[in-house]
Structure 1
Amino acid sequence: MITAQTFKRGSRPRPFLMGILNVTPDSFSDGGKWDSPKTALAHALDLIEQGADIIDIGGESTRPGATPVSREEELSRLLPVLKELIPSIDVPVSVDTMKADVAEACVALGASIINDVSGLGDPDMAMTAADCGVPLVLMSSYGDPSTFRTQTIPGDGVLYAREKLAGLTEKALEAGVREEMIILDPGIGFGTSPGQATEMLAHSSDFSLGRYPVLIGPSRKRFLSHAFPGKDPDAATAEACEIAASSGADILRVHDVGRAAERF
């Protein structure tokens, strides 16, 4: 049985690598590339070959300024791909969604993890995760997709994310999510300045709250051009992953799994 504690590094030499599989037409770096079941499966198999330990599939873009999609539209993107994917791969599949009913439908098809970047924006999400009995990723953010680039956390970004994650964890536990099913993500790039994002990388273990696995998702984000000037997005992502891993990250969510894996 998979729990969040499955993804605690412990003595493991490298973090778990979560390969990103967007089946959206408008994601910021790969929209429209993997939106059919066959191309999505081929890409998932490629990510696994590169070293992915988890495949994270998303049907709604969370890039700044993205247009929200309906439940029906999101499911129409996710379910055909999941039906192709689940029987064909041997690593856990995470579903990246902000909607509780979408998460429930995906878990029913075999998804093993719910990755909720909204931080329980859907009031039913925590209870749904508890009922489904799968790990739940809780992410901190400041603002919403329309403001992520224009409004950033006032003051200490690390402290803000720690406090936000503590509050989300309390809500999840109250809704029945078991402690061993919680993974925490500080939300790098979701309302953070380049300086705050870079600082978060170097303080990954601070977001564990002493017990939970930490997921860090720096992949191809805008702050990388400030933190690693002159490097292409995937090379900069690999640098960021190395910093996050050295500071205690358990899971790294990336587009180019191979480039990240080379660092460990």
Structure 2
Amino acid sequence: MITNLRIGETDFKIGEKTYIMGILNVTPDSFSDGGRFNQIEAALDHVREMIEDGADIIDIGGESTRPNHIQISEEEEAARVVPVIKAIKERYKIPVSIDTYKSKVAKAALEAGADLVNDVWGLKYDPNMANVIKEYNVPVCIMHNRENMDYDNFRSDMLNDLKRSIEIGEKAGINKEKIIIDPGIGFAKTYEMNLEAMNHLEDLLQFDMPILLAASRKSVIGLTLDLPVTEREEGTIATSVLGVMKGCHFVRVHNVKANLRAIRMIEAILHNEKQLK
């Protein structure tokens, strides 16, 4: 069944195709492209390139969430993202997501024109985050994360963690139809757990919510292929194709063009098979 999710001024037909979220890191220390786009003109040029390549959403992050990253203040993070968000919204019509787990940063970003909050802590880090999202009536992407890897049963515990995050949002008054879920590849998971989570992405379909897969260039790809972050494109494309086959509605990637081409190819194959039945 195709349902509608409105992000900013754009309607996303969930179930019709897999949409592309392009990554824009305005940080000096991101694991993949730190320092490349933390100047406004460079950031705008990259956004234009991603739009031309077929991005549907731009996800902006002002603090690296790579392993062992250094946490920065809310003020510094907001100072990084707010001018870029304003500049993007003035120049382009594409929806903008703010990648943050801090409510003050989310509020500043939403005031600047952001259309969606992407919270890597699934509303569990900052107790006011859900209230801010409710106040601005925007969609939220809830990612699986936890402080440890002490799982009794990894798959069941991951689903229960996501349920608790969803409950936090609903208790704050966030409409269930505005929630996207993310399995959190690379967060609070061993190498084997990351592979298991991707192999069983269909587990997330039980929530009846849009699913976002964000595996682009992550360590699970590097460990599997024994490759540095600069050489993980083919591995990323493989995860995007898997995401489509498993029913994901969004993929968050660095290289929009390459992933979009692979996604459209697998969608054509799957759509043709459905048409023949």
TM-score, normalised by the number of residues in structure 1: 0.90
Of the three residues 2, 8, 16, the one matched with 1:11 is: 16
Aligned to 2:135: 131
| Larger radius of gyration between Structure 1 and Structure 2 | 2
Of the three residues 141, 154, 159, the one matched with 2:156 is: 159
Counting aligned pairs with the same residue, the percent is: 37
User: Within the alignment, does 1:243 sit opposite 2:247 as a pair?
Assistant: no
Matches within 5 A, 1:1-264: 2-3=6-7, 6-7=11-12, 9-12=14-17, 15-120=18-123, 121-143=125-147, 152=149, 154-228=151-225, 232-263=231-262, 264=264
User: For 1:240, what is the secondary structure of its paired residue?
Assistant: helix
Counterparts of 1:199 and 1:49, CA distance in 2 = 34
Query: What letter is aligned with 1:108?
Result: E
Query: What letter is aligned with 2:133?
Result: A
User: For 1:223, what is the secondary structure of its paired residue?
Assistant: helix
Query: What letter is aligned with 2:197?
Result: M
Counterparts of 2:150 and 2:141, CA distance in 1 = 21
User: For 1:183, what is the secondary structure of its paired residue?
Assistant: strand
Unmatched tracts of structure 1, length 5 or more? 144-150
**1:154 Cα deviation (Å)?**
3.1
Counterparts of 2:250 and 2:86, CA distance in 1 = 25
Query: What letter is aligned with 1:162?
Result: L
Counterparts of 1:62 and 1:3, CA distance in 2 = 24
Q: Is the deviation greater in 22-31 or in 101-110?
A: 101-110
Unmatched tracts of structure 2, length 5 or more? 265-277
Residue by residue over 1:118-177, the C-alpha shift from the partner in whole angstroms, topping out at 9 and shown as x without a partner, is 22210000011001000011111132xxxxxxx645354332221111111011100110
Query: What letter is aligned with 1:249?
Result: C
Counterparts of 1:8 and 1:122, CA distance in 2 = 30
Counterparts of 1:124 and 1:159, CA distance in 2 = 27
**1:2 Cα deviation (Å)?**
1.9
User: For 2:24, what is the secondary structure of its paired residue?
Assistant: strand
TM-score, normalised by the number of residues in structure 2: 0.86
Counterparts of 1:6 and 1:211, CA distance in 2 = 18
- Tell me which protein shows more helix as a share of its residues: 2
User: For 2:177, what is the secondary structure of its paired residue?
Assistant: helix
The answer to whether the 8 A contact 1:103-1:114 is kept is yes
Aligned to 1:148: none
Residue by residue over 1:60-101, the C-alpha shift from the partner in whole angstroms, topping out at 9 and shown as x without a partner, is 110111111111101110111112111211211000011111
**1:197 Cα deviation (Å)?**
1.2
Counterparts of 2:240 and 2:196, CA distance in 1 = 13
Counterparts of 2:216 and 2:77, CA distance in 1 = 22
Q: 1:182/1:164 Cα in 2 relative to 1: closer, same or farther (>3 Å)?
A: same
**1:228 Cα deviation (Å)?**
4.5
The answer to whether the 8 A contact 1:8-1:213 is kept is no
Q: Which structure has more RCO (C-alpha within 8 Å, separation ≥ 6)?
A: 1
